[in-house]
Structure 1
Amino acid sequence: MKTHFPVDRMRAEATPFYYYDMELLDATIKAIRQYSDYPDFQVHYAVKANSNPEILRRIAASGLGADTVSIGEVKAALDAGFSAAKTVFAGVGKTDEEIAAALEYGIGCFNVESEPELFVIESIARQMGKKAPVALRVNPEIDAHTHHYITTGIAENKFGIAMSMLRRVIDSCIKSEWIDLQGLHFHIGSQVTDLTPYKILCERINRLQEEYSDIEFASINVGGGLGVDYDNPDTNPIPDFEEFFKIFHENLKLRSGQQVHFELGRAVVAQCGSLITRVVFVKEGVDKKFVILDGGMTELIRPALYQAHHKIENLTSTSPDEERYDVVGPICESSDTFGTDELLPETKRGDLVALRSAGAYGEVMASCYNCRSLPGSRFSHRFR
């Protein structure tokens, strides 16, 4: 389904702002629920991808759980209507205050990332007289072949526990009366478009389950990371959830009664969001033309941070002629560039430009650098 932009209404809006196609979000959630409809599957939404309250409320209403990485995200999820019992709390640097608050909220599980973290959780749980539910995040030593900033499953990484250390940490859990060991947690990376690493992950988990056949794991959390098509958002607006979930259904050898947990973020919200900006100037260079937008890396940092590319679409030009432009933002950094040699319809001052597929890691990562204001948000159902 192609995103419809209500251009006439948008002209009157102050830019930059995020525009969310809520019909596409609903269709995406429907596809997730349809293709994850296996008896032992439970899907959680990774709140870090987009924590806009209206987005969170819409996802919570669908019955998905929440995957969080800070106590702020835990609170945002609970405020939006997510169940505490279906909320997991991950992250490598949970503070004592965050751990205590999460225990007080009664969250479903801590995804434990290191041995020192386990000992701190145990100590705080003992002081509070509450048993802490935990899953141990294991580094499966799988390269997801994505950007090195978002690869998380290799052997030496700040995330997770090395497989060589796992037995010792499991034994610590079993010996503690304040730890409830629920399962194992894995996450190989983000923006994974070749699904082969997920098959390898299933094989790695199967071997681990055989190796630890003496340990009862109620759940296996396989993380998320499923990528989206940034180049063709209208052609592929919804990721291939059918094949994604089928891989785990067909390749993961579950024990009787065991649950599989998923933590999808980008795949849920990326395609429903666009950053809407306005052309401030078209600058003639020596050999290039520059389209200078009123939105920049403060609103959408992914191109500057990851060298990521978002489809750039002029929403208002009616010119049949196309030209090459470097599309840049107004921030005082050379990295504030959205695209070079972009082929666009002839572009003029005042044109509205959409940076597509920006629903994930867009608004949520916006900053006030250069003393700029944070971008607002608009929703399709309110533009009718």
Structure 2
Amino acid sequence: MSNYFPAEKFKSIPTPFYFYDMGLLEQTLQKVKSESDKYNFVVHYAIKANANDRILERIREYGMGVDCVSGFEVKKALDMGFPAQGIVFAGVGKADWEIEMGIDNNIACFNVESTAELDVINEIATRKNQKVKVAMRINPNVKANTHKYITTGLDENKFGIHQMDVEKTVDAITKMDFINLEGIHFHIGSQIMDLSSFSALCERVNEIQDWFEEKGIALKTINVGGGLGIDYNKPAENPIPDFENYFRIFSEGIKLRPGQEIHFELGRSVVGQCGNLISKVLYVKEGVKTNFAIIDGGMTDLIRPALYQAYHKIENITSNGSEEKYDVVGPICESSDSFGKDIELPKTSRGDLMAIRSAGAYGEVMVSRYNLREEPKAYYSDQL
């Protein structure tokens, strides 16, 4: 039985639901701010990780900008009161209306990923007679040592401009009257726990910077993306990522020119550990080789295990029984609707409450209504 969760209060709340530890979010934000402020780094929150209103309100109060990957996210950020001058807009497939929204609201920067996209942005900017700031997302071919679906910085990934095409892209920009090259942008992947990957990125950034300098091109911003992971295995022991060493690596590793800024786009590392999916056991089903704990939360509520085979620590927060092994599965009519196999849990019975930990990032924001299920509600530690 866990002391981390107010299990008695949970018993009166319909499951499944998301539970956010607002105290932990506060501590994490304080750490991000204190460590990034040491070096005057600029942090944009990657809103794709979690767009819950209360989460966004707290992040806004810490003065962060926002990293968006759709026009809908840009609109959400603006509606939540984030200043347009702190919004950067990335993504390989920006539609015309999304580009227009960014231009009309005078956002800080478009992170562009192809010359084809640049052509469209310039065409729309010309029509609107408005200069647009862009950063070139360059594919640095740095291996991130993470899941293949969330590695984004290798040559074969769909993201970014290949290094062989950088000169051609720069030449194209010089011919565009309404495009200002603000900086360069990188993002090598997500859930990166080996910090040496970021050291390798710094080396590549310096090499690319040297090339721009040789061409006489001054860059204002170096955007290194995000990617810092969280400890899914031991969320209670390591609730806040190692922001101290993460930011230090970039401070020591990147050779800044006068007047340059380093920008970051952090998502999972900010919100991942503060969120949890709470679900109720519907049945314990005896199988031939294993017992199944069938819960009322499913892949519609938290898709990461089904999509990435991602691990989330599962806790029975209402049982003190002896340890037994279970396959923890959901009610969705898909074989992939499973949260873990051979999970050691206290003896589990119908009505027990399960907490699926570390679900604050890519949890609630990826909810679907498959099987016509209702979306889970959210509850907060400071309101229970």
Which range, TM-score by smaller chain? Answer: over 0.9
Task: Quote the Cα distance in structure 1 between the aligned partners of 2:381 and 2:264.
Answer: 28
Corresponding residue for residue 337 of structure 1: 338
| Cα-to-partner distance string for 1:299-355 (whole Å, 9 max, x where unaligned) | 000000000010000011122x11010000001111111111110000000001000
**In 2, are the aligned partners of 1:40 and 1:258 still within 8 Å (CA)?**
no
User: CA shift at 1:94, angstroms?
Assistant: 0.3
Corresponding residue for residue 235 of structure 1: 237
Corresponding residue for residue 309 of structure 1: 311
Corresponding residue for residue 369 of structure 1: 370
Matched, 1:272 2:287: no
**In 2, are the aligned partners of 1:122 and 1:179 still within 8 Å (CA)?**
yes
Task: Quote the Cα distance in structure 1 between the aligned partners of 2:88 and 2:200.
Answer: 24
User: CA shift at 1:39, angstroms?
Assistant: 4.3
Task: Quote the Cα distance in structure 2 between the aligned partners of 1:95 and 1:178.
Answer: 19
**In 1, are the aligned partners of 2:146 and 2:191 still within 8 Å (CA)?**
yes
Aligned partner letter, 2:219: F
User: CA shift at 1:75, angstroms?
Assistant: 1.1
Corresponding residue for residue 208 of structure 1: 208
Corresponding residue for residue 265 of structure 2: 263
**In 1, are the aligned partners of 2:173 and 2:179 still within 8 Å (CA)?**
yes
Corresponding residue for residue 41 of structure 1: 41
User: CA shift at 1:81, angstroms?
Assistant: 1.9
Aligned partner letter, 1:363: E
| Cα-to-partner distance string for 1:210-231 (whole Å, 9 max, x where unaligned) | 1111111000000000000001
Give the share of equivalent positions with the same residue, in percent: 56
Aligned to 2:311, the other structure's residue is in SS state coil
Task: Quote the Cα distance in structure 1 between the aligned partners of 2:378 and 2:118.
Answer: 39
Task: Quote the Cα distance in structure 2 between the aligned partners of 1:152 and 1:207.
Answer: 19
RMSD, matched Cα? 1.0
Corresponding residue for residue 14 of structure 2: 14
Corresponding residue for residue 247 of structure 2: 245
2:301 to 287, 299, 302: 299
Q: Report runs of 4+ in structure 1 exceeding 4 Å deviation.
A: none
1:226 to 221, 225, 228: 228
Corresponding residue for residue 254 of structure 1: 256
Matched, 1:346 2:340: no
User: CA shift at 1:6, angstroms?
Assistant: 1.3
Task: Quote the Cα distance in structure 1 between the aligned partners of 2:345 and 2:169.
Answer: 55
Aligned to 2:170, the other structure's residue is in SS state helix
User: CA shift at 1:174, angstroms?
Assistant: 2.4
User: CA shift at 1:286, angstroms?
Assistant: 1.5
* 187-196 or 35-44, larger mean C-alpha shift: 35-44
Task: Quote the Cα distance in structure 2 between the aligned partners of 1:317 and 1:77.
Answer: 41
Aligned to 2:180, the other structure's residue is in SS state strand
* 328-337 or 33-42, larger mean C-alpha shift: 33-42
User: CA shift at 1:3, angstroms?
Assistant: 8.1
Task: Quote the Cα distance in structure 1 between the aligned partners of 2:307 and 2:371.
Answer: 17
Counterpart mapping for 1:92-131 below 5 A: 92-131=92-131
Aligned partner letter, 2:13: E
**In 1, are the aligned partners of 2:39 and 2:251 still within 8 Å (CA)?**
no
User: CA shift at 1:21, angstroms?
Assistant: 0.3
Q: Can you give the 5+ residue segments of structure 2 that lack an aligned partner in the other structure?
A: none
Counterpart mapping for 1:160-179 below 5 A: 160-179=160-179
Q: How many residues align?
A: 381
Task: Quote the Cα distance in structure 2 between the aligned partners of 1:289 and 1:39.
Answer: 52
Task: Quote the Cα distance in structure 2 between the aligned partners of 1:31 and 1:279.
Answer: 36
Aligned partner letter, 1:53: D
Aligned to 2:37, the other structure's residue is in SS state coil
Aligned to 2:111, the other structure's residue is in SS state strand
User: CA shift at 1:175, angstroms?
Assistant: 2.5
* 153-162 or 75-84, larger mean C-alpha shift: 75-84
User: CA shift at 1:295, angstroms?
Assistant: 0.3
Corresponding residue for residue 323 of structure 1: 324
**TM-score, normalised to structure 1's length?**
0.98
**In 2, are the aligned partners of 1:270 and 1:358 still within 8 Å (CA)?**
yes
**In 1, are the aligned partners of 2:146 and 2:190 still within 8 Å (CA)?**
yes
Task: Quote the Cα distance in structure 1 between the aligned partners of 2:244 and 2:149.
Answer: 27
**In 2, are the aligned partners of 1:53 and 1:76 still within 8 Å (CA)?**
no
**In 1, are the aligned partners of 2:138 and 2:163 still within 8 Å (CA)?**
yes
Aligned partner letter, 1:359: G
Aligned partner letter, 1:282: V
User: CA shift at 1:171, angstroms?
Assistant: 1.9
Corresponding residue for residue 359 of structure 1: 360
Aligned to 1:283, the other structure's residue is in SS state strand
Aligned to 1:228, the other structure's residue is in SS state coil
User: CA shift at 1:157, angstroms?
Assistant: 1.5
